[in-house]
Each structure stands twice: as structure tokens, then as C-alpha cells.
Amino acid sequence: SDTELLLIADDTGLPALCAVAESLAPGQRARAFIEVADEREHQPISSEATIETTWLHRDGTPPGLSPALVDAVLSLPTPSSATYVWGGGESRIMTRIRKHVRREWGLAREQVDLTPYWRHKDSPVPTPEDDE
């Protein structure tokens, strides 16, 4: 399909990201940003799709506090309107990314599937506006 796919995950979202990748059709193109502790955490992403994978390392920063995933998404140019964003990770990070792709990229709610798998102890409680 012509849909551009952006996949985002930290360690906790990586198993689900791998499952999504395996489900993609040949010819589908996707971009993946995956945050892990360091290069020892890399693993093969098996898929019949073409996935451009960028591994982001925390390099000693505690999980949930690294700006790497948010910075990676914010650095992307605004994609075509036919874009789907999937992700799983820390609650506040998923919320920041959701706000960006909805407000700055103009994606509709049904084009964004970002799941908070966990919440850092210092992460603020989400408000209803966070899901807009």
C-alpha cells in the first residue's frame, strides 16, 4: 500500500513492534525508531516489508527519561497525509509523540496507535487533552 508506516518502541514495546513488523506485507515500507540501553540490546527485526530501522541508545540514561525517541520523531519532516504511526513505550513519551503527530503533522486519531506500556514514577498523570 502507499501508506507510510512509522514504528516507535522502547524495550517494553519491542516485542509488539516485532510482531507488527512480521505482519507487514512485502513491498510495504516502514521506518522504525527503537530505544534500548545500548547496542547489545539490538535484535533482528524479521519482516517481508522494507523497514529502515534506527536504534537509539540511552547510554546510561534511565529508561523513561531519555529524549531519544521524541527527538527522533520531531526531527522527521512532516510526512504525507497517508501515514500511520504505531508505537509502545513509556506513557509521557508516547503522549509527547502523539501530540506532535496529531497537532504538527495533522494526522487523524485513527492514524495514530501509541500505547503507554508503563509510566515512569516521575511522569505526570495524563489529562484528557493528551489524547487529542
Helix intervals (H) in the chain: 14-23, 68-74, 91-99
Secondary element (H or E) of residue 84: strand 83-90
Q: Is 75 helix (H, G, I), strand (E, B) or coil?
A: coil
Query: pLDDT averaged over the chain?
Result: 92
The residue among 41 and 80 whose pLDDT is bigger is 41
Q: Which domains does the chain have, with CATH numbers?
A: 4-131 (3.40.50.80)
Query: pLDDT tens digit string along 47-95?
Result: 999 999 999 999 999 999 999 999 999 999 999 888 999 999 999 999 9
What is the structure's pLDDT at 20?
98
Task: Assess whether pLDDT exceeds 70 at residue 124.
Answer: no
Task: Assess whether pLDDT exceeds 70 at residue 131.
Answer: no
pLDDT mean over 119-130:
71
* Cα gap 105→76, rounded to integer Å: 10
DSSP assignment of 4-40, as one string? EEEEEE-GGGHHHHHHHHHHSPTT-EEEEEEEESSGG
Number of CB atoms found within 10 A of residue 14's CB: 19
